[in-house]
Amino acid sequence: MRWRNVKHKNSNQTQSDASVPQRLFAGFWTRALGFVTDLFMIGIPISLFIMVVFGRDEMKTATALDVIAHNETALTNAPDPLVSLLHVVLTMSIYVFLWHRNGKTPGKQLAHCKVVDATTLKPASYFQLIIRFLGYFLSAVTLIGFFIGLFRRDKRTLHDLISRTAVVYTN
């Protein structure tokens, strides 16, 4: 085969590759904006619901961080495990439902990004999204889990890697 033909084939291949739209993975600050927005838009209403149902005294109990850190507050005013579990289950249900419905929570909508399956870039399954939500706790405990995305080309964090999901920009 002549060099000219090989060179011509390679230039045609690069042109066809360039015409395929490339999904850009959402960066750290975009994802952080979405996460903080979700804490307010999803977390506060759930906390208010818990307070209305179980009473204002439940909001004065120790938090999970107090229990982990063996704080004195956790010993004197221990949280009700049932209420804590309900809080986590409600939060997980809302996040997973919104991620599965259209890939977006209110924070992701504000940040113009969505959660997808990392290999197919199609909507992730319920199983993947539940694993992703539970992976948030591992990322929070290690803290490095959230910052792994700063060093990866695909911007995926620990909970993304565990659940085989990615956060991509929407058009």
Instruction: Return the bridge partners of 113, or none.
Output: 169
Structural contact between residues 135 and 148, judged by C-beta atoms closer than 8 angstroms: no
Instruction: Assess if residue 2 is contained within a domain.
Output: no
pLDDT of the residue at 103: 92
- What confidence category does residue 17 fall into, taking pLDDT thresholds of 50, 70 and 90? very low
Give percent of the chain with pLDDT exceeding 90: 44
Task: Give how many domains the chain has, as a whole number.
Answer: 1
Tokens standing for residue 37: 């927005």
Is residue 49 one of the residues assigned to a domain?
Answer: yes
Q: Supply the mean pLDDT for the chain.
A: 83
Q: Which whole number is the average pLDDT over 83-102?
A: 92
**Domain contains 12:** no
> Could you tell me the pLDDT band of residue 94, with boundaries at 50, 70 and 90?
very high
Does residue 14 lie within any of the structural domains? no
Residue 108 lies in a domain: yes
Residues 6 or more apart from 147 whose CB is under 8 A from it? 28, 157
Domain ranges, residue 112: 24-169
The answer to the question of residue 4 being in a domain is: no
Contact (Cβ atoms closer than 8 angstroms) between residue 90 and residue 46:
yes
Region 117-123: mean pLDDT is 92
Residue 110, pLDDT > 90, answer: yes
Please give the structure tokens belonging to residue 96: 């997973």
Range of weakest confidence among 3-12, 33-42, 58-67, 136-145: 3-12
State residue 24's pLDDT score. 87
74 within some domain = yes
Instruction: For residue 38, tell me if it sits in a domain.
Output: yes
Please report the pLDDT score of residue 171 as a whole number: 75
Angle of helix 44-54 relative to helix 81-102, nearest 10 degrees, comes to 140
pTM: 0.78
